[in-house]
Amino acid sequence: MSVMIGIEVHCQLNTASKLFCNSSSDHRGKMPNECTCPICLGFPGSKPVVNKRAIELGMMIALALKCKIAEKMFFSRKTYFYPDMSKNYQITQYEAPLAERGLFTLGENKIRIRRVHIEEDPARLIHVGGDITSAKYVLIDYNRSGIPLAEIVTEPDFTAPKEVRAFLEKMVNVLEHLGAYDSGKEATLRVDANISTDGGERVEVKNITGFENVEKALNYEIIRQSSMKRSGNVVVRETRHFDADTNTTKSLRKKEYEEDYGYIFDPDLPSVTISRAWLESVASSMPELPDQRIERFVRQYSIDEYTAMVIVYSDKRLADFFEECCARYNKPPTVSNWIVNYLLKSLNWRSERISQSKARPETFVELLQLIDEGKITDRFAKELIKEYVDTGISPRTLAQKEIVALSEKDLDEIIVKVLQANANAVEEYRNGKKESLQFLIGKVLSETRKQGNPKKIKDLIVKLMPR
């Protein structure tokens, strides 16, 4: 079975104000409909003015995606009747988008970018008592209405849902490095996915949030469409909704064609000329992109490429965390090893990103300094990092508490207790089974929460072992 998938990624741009007005685009902690004005509420007679910063962020995205940027662009009105659009049209770009014909490298695959354009976000709909198909009623919050969006449209170059997920994970990393997207501002990446199987009619799954959900929605559609064809039914062109509770898609409406939207040039907005000087200025101000950062990490910090990729592609803020740690503790290979093998494992266990964690560079490096000072062992540090990530308490404070507790015990008594409880292992060691000694050392370390020098513990076990 052949599969063709193309996607449209809607990225809320990281600007202080909305696309066509001065209302704040940051509505964290605000009451519904608080960040609004006559322009983003669509009042008759209100006049939009283009946010220059939104255009520049769109230009950066287009440059990062190797797109051809237009010398002149303009905005159009996309007419449709839906509760989230108070004007009954959306200001977007159709005939003359910001950029076209780009390319995005995904491993050995090359994903063609059809276009990048700028548009306004609709309002947020809250479905009460059900989902989009079953809610008792709908509430509308216009705080989101008018926030600038960059829409990134790919060609149908994906052949599997896992490829789409990999693309999105890498894409969000690029957007965060550009400063074009900030997930901390309650911003979301929303995806519309178009999929067809065996050359049949394409189906659009609308407004999917979460990369895992995108993969699930596409997997479900492949199964649904192939099942329909096997049973002799025809797959029709339609728009569907993904239900994250049931991991299924539901039909919303017959899929519209572009001509159904009645695009017209927006008479309230002038065309925008992108001069060579402006483009060069934006290009020169672009931050370091992920692939460039990986190359620098290998060169500057003497870490291997795989480790650099894990750090950078996991999360921009994790890469920032790594660099801040290296500024405080000048042993980058050690820092990268502990981040990749132990800090990330603890974060994943808690389903946290570094930005949500209590871990801080200034306290994280304390753990490594304690090992250097000989105050804790590697084994103990691997246990201590779990409590550190859970609590955010300084590793030096945590270690001091545990070391004091251990010093109050008699290590000899712990070893004698372990030997008595594991008489079979003692006997096996006496009969020449060397592995039994390692087993006993592990038992003692478990009793001491992996504190203490394993060599010293080994010597004490041999000394205190019953004759």
**pLDDT, position 416:** 77
Distance CA 107, CA 240 (A): 30
Q: What average pLDDT does this structure show over 187-205?
A: 90
Q: Does residue 409 have a pLDDT over 70?
A: no
**pLDDT, position 68:** 97
Q: What average pLDDT does this structure show over 217-231?
A: 94
Per DSSP, what are the bridge partners of residue 259? Answer: none
Cα-based distances in Å from 313 to 160, 173, 210, 361:
21, 6, 17, 19
91: left (phi over 0), alpha (psi -120 to 50) or beta: beta
% of the chain residues with pLDDT over 90: 69
Instruction: Give first-to-last CA distance, the chain, whole Å.
Output: 71
**pLDDT, position 427:** 72
Instruction: Tell which wins on pLDDT, 223 or 426.
Output: 223
**pLDDT, position 447:** 64
Q: Give the residue among 228, 65, 237, 225 at the shortest CA–CA distance from 155.
A: 65
Q: What average pLDDT does this structure show over 242-270?
A: 87
Q: Does residue 403 have a pLDDT over 70?
A: no
Global confidence as pTM:
0.84
Instruction: Tell which wins on pLDDT, 187 or 385.
Output: 385
Q: What residues have CB less than 8 Å from 112, skipping those under 6 apart?
A: 101, 102, 103, 104, 154, 155, 157
**pLDDT, position 402:** 65
Q: What residues have CB less than 8 Å from 45, skipping those under 6 apart?
A: 38
Q: Does residue 33 have a pLDDT over 90?
A: yes
408 band by pLDDT with thresholds 50, 70 and 90: very low
Distance CA 11, CA 152 (A): 8
**pLDDT, position 376:** 80
Q: What is the tens place of the pLDDT at every residue in 123-167?
A: 999 989 888 778 899 999 999 999 999 999 999 999 999 999 999
Q: What average pLDDT does this structure show over 405-432?
A: 69
Instruction: Tell which wins on pLDDT, 2 or 452.
Output: 2
Distance CA 467, CA 465 (A): 6
Q: Does residue 343 have a pLDDT over 50?
A: yes
Q: What is the tens place of the pLDDT at every residue in 39-79?
A: 999 999 999 999 999 999 999 999 999 999 999 999 999 99
**pLDDT, position 374:** 79
Q: Give the residue among 273, 270, 333 at the shortest CA–CA distance from 307.
A: 333
Q: Does residue 440 have a pLDDT over 90?
A: no
Hey, what are 111's tokens?
A: 């994903």
Hey, what are 43's tokens?
A: 């009042």
Q: What average pLDDT does this structure show over 13-35?
A: 95
Mean pLDDT over the full length of the chain: 90
**pLDDT, position 407:** 47
Q: What is the tens place of the pLDDT at every residue in 280-338?
A: 999 999 999 999 999 999 999 999 999 999 999 999 999 999 999 999 999 999 999 99
Q: Does residue 442 have a pLDDT over 90?
A: no
Q: What residues have CB less than 8 Å from 457, skipping those under 6 apart?
A: 411, 415, 441, 444, 445
Instruction: Kindly compute the dihedral angle of the four CA atoms of residues 270, 276, 280, 286, in this order, to the nearest 10 degrees.
Output: 30
Q: What average pLDDT does this structure show over 405-434?
A: 70
Distance CA 389, CA 358 (A): 6
Cα-based distances in Å from 345 to 211, 306, 309, 368:
20, 17, 16, 17
In SS3 terms, the chain reads as: CCEEEEEEEEEECCCCECCCCCCECCCCCCCCCCCCCCCCCCCCCCCCCCCHHHHHHHHHHHHHCCCEECCEECCEEEECCCCCCCCCEEEECCCCCCEEEEEEEECCEEEEEEEEEEEECCCEEEEECCCCCCCCEEEEECCCCCCEEEEEEECCCECCHHHHHHHHHHHHHHHHHHCCCCHHHCCCEEEEEEEEECCCCCEEEEEEECHHHHHHHHHHHHHHHHHHHHCCCCCCCEEEEEECCCCEEEEEEECCCHHHHCCEECCCCCCEECCHHHHHHHHHCCCCCHHHHHHHHHHHHCCCHHHHHHHHHHCHHHHHHHHHHHHHCCCHHHHHHHHHHHHHHHHHHCCCCHHHCCCCHHHHHHHHHHHHCCCCCHHHHHHHHHHHHHHCCCHHHHHHHHHHHHHCCCHHHHHHHHHHHCHHHHHHHHCCCCHHHHHHHHHHHHHCCCCCCHHHHHHHHHHHCCC
- Tokens 């494992």, residue? 345
**89-92 and 99-106 beta bridge pairing:** unpaired
Distance CA 3, CA 92 (A): 30
Cα-based distances in Å from 466 to 261, 265, 436:
88, 93, 15
**pLDDT, position 406:** 52
Architecture label for domain 411-464 = Orthogonal Bundle (1.10)
Q: Where are the domains of the chain?
A: 3-282, 290-407, 411-464
Q: What average pLDDT does this structure show over 249-268?
A: 84
